[in-house]
Amino acid sequence: MDFTAITGAVDGAVVVAGLGAIAAIKILPVAAKWGYGKVISMLGR
C-alpha cells in the first residue's frame, strides 16, 4: 500500500484548516463588533 498520496492530502487539509482557523480568529472580533453595532443601531431607532 502506498500511503504518500493519503498523507499528502491529509497534510494539505490540515494546513488549510489551520490557516482558516487563524483567519477566523483574527476576523471574528471585527465581525462581532460590526454586527453588534448594526444590531444596536437598529434597536436604537
**pLDDT at residue number 45:** 72
**pLDDT at residue number 34:** 93
**pLDDT at residue number 15:** 87
User: In this structure, what C-alpha cell is assigned to residue 3?
Assistant: 500511503
Please list the rounded mean pLDDT of every run of 10 residues in the chain (45 residues). Answer: 73 88 91 92 85
**pLDDT at residue number 5:** 73
Question: pTM higher than 0.75 for the full model?
Answer: no
Counting every residue written for the chain, the total comes to: 45
Q: H helices within the chain, ranges in order?
A: 4-44
